[in-house]
Amino acid sequence: MKAPYRADQVGSLLRPDWLAEARRRWKAGEIDAAELKTTEDRAIVEAVRHQEAIGLESITGGEFRRDWWHLDFLASLGGVTLQQNPGPKFKIEGQSEQPPIPTVTGRIACAGPIMVDHFAFLKSETTKTAKMTIPSPSMLHLRGGRASISKQIYPDLAEFWVDVAAAYRVSIRHLADAGCTYLQLDDVTFAYLCDPRIQATCRANGDDPDKLPQTYADAINAALVDRPAGMNVTIHTCRGNFKSAWVAEGGYDPVVEAMFSTRVDGYFMEFDSARAGGFEPLRLLQNSEDRAKKVVLGLVTTKLGELESKDSLKRRIDEAAQFVPLERLCLSPQCGFSSTHHGNALSQDDQWKKLERVVEVAHEVWG
């Protein structure tokens, strides 16, 4: 079976305390980059072995070399500067800390390989499918919107999207040349735009939230125009995952048609709480041109340590199968366990038990 797999994962894993300490010391100038890399390598190898032992087919590096799931990659593109957002903000429930905003101050370009060395190391350490996660091209736009993109550089936003797609095509080619066959585009935009509060913030930033879902879908499709043969691509979307906090709520109805128009192999969709609404929007997948597309049901929460029961997960899979045939469904956690270096409010033991539960249930449901 090609990716996405019946039992899959979103990507990020909780950082061991000793890795977090090494990164702190590196930022403080107490150790050099070589010593940090040695520590990161050790942590990644341990995580890979644990994933393999559980029985996962897709193996990630836990995003251990990043501080943020998206900003480390985006800041490596030419023309992008990280700045504190002076304008309207998306509120993270219960949190005062706000991540920087990727701000466009020059022409967008990919001058050289981005995180290819991260992927190459991961691939060298596993015989399973090494999975690479990068932020979706739409993540250069959503949080700051038109207000965060220089009007001097891009008076016409159409030119901005052309450059973004071109930069992503180059970056994806670099990953393919390194042997990447499973790429995930992390894209909170679709899920965020289900929330009327987020839609209001978009308007304040100078954008039309009714048009944005299709704009983002078109950007993804343009980025994948030259997708290498043999590379499977998925999209992951969720409503926020910062220290177990969330940002948005609302069912997928306003965005699902545009999202399903993207030319990818599968969709990791958050369904771990009532904030995500019901499974009814999945029926639109039946109308998509590609009947091979899959939905990976994010039923196992990464925000809390309580372990979901097998019976409850199977019931929810049965509910989803009323709208999408069972053979087109898969199972995963709803998000990563540590989308940022802070990590979520659960233990390493909780994390591994949840991933084990995903594999167990997938085996029992699909064989």
Residue 100 confidence (pLDDT): 83
195-239 pLDDT, tens digit each: 898 899 889 888 999 999 999 999 999 999 989 889 999 999 988
49-78 pLDDT, tens digit each: 999 999 999 999 999 999 988 999 999 999
Confidence at 96, pLDDT banded by 50, 70, 90: low
Residue 179 confidence (pLDDT): 97
Confidence at 153, pLDDT banded by 50, 70, 90: very high
DSSP-assigned states of every residue in 43-88? HHHHHHHHHHHHT-SEE--TTTT-SBTTHHHHTTSEEEEEE---S-
pTM: 0.93
Residue 239 confidence (pLDDT): 84
Whether residue 298 contacts residue 237, with contact meaning beta carbons closer than 8 Å, is answered with no
Residue 281 confidence (pLDDT): 94
Residue 139 confidence (pLDDT): 92
- Of the candidate ranges 90-94, 179-183, 248-252, the one whose mean pLDDT is the lowest: 90-94
| Residue partners of 79: CB distance under 8 A and separation at least 6 | 104, 105, 106, 107, 108, 109, 153, 163
Closest CA to 362 of 303, 319, 299: 299
What percent of the chain is predicted at pLDDT more than 70?
93
End-to-end CA distance of the chain: 12
**Residue 200: CB atoms within 10 Å:** 12
Residue 243 confidence (pLDDT): 60
Is the model's pLDDT at 43 over the cut of 80?
yes
Is the model's pLDDT at 94 over the cut of 60?
no
Give the residue-averaged pLDDT of 332-355.
Answer: 88
- As a whole number, the mean pLDDT across the chain is 91
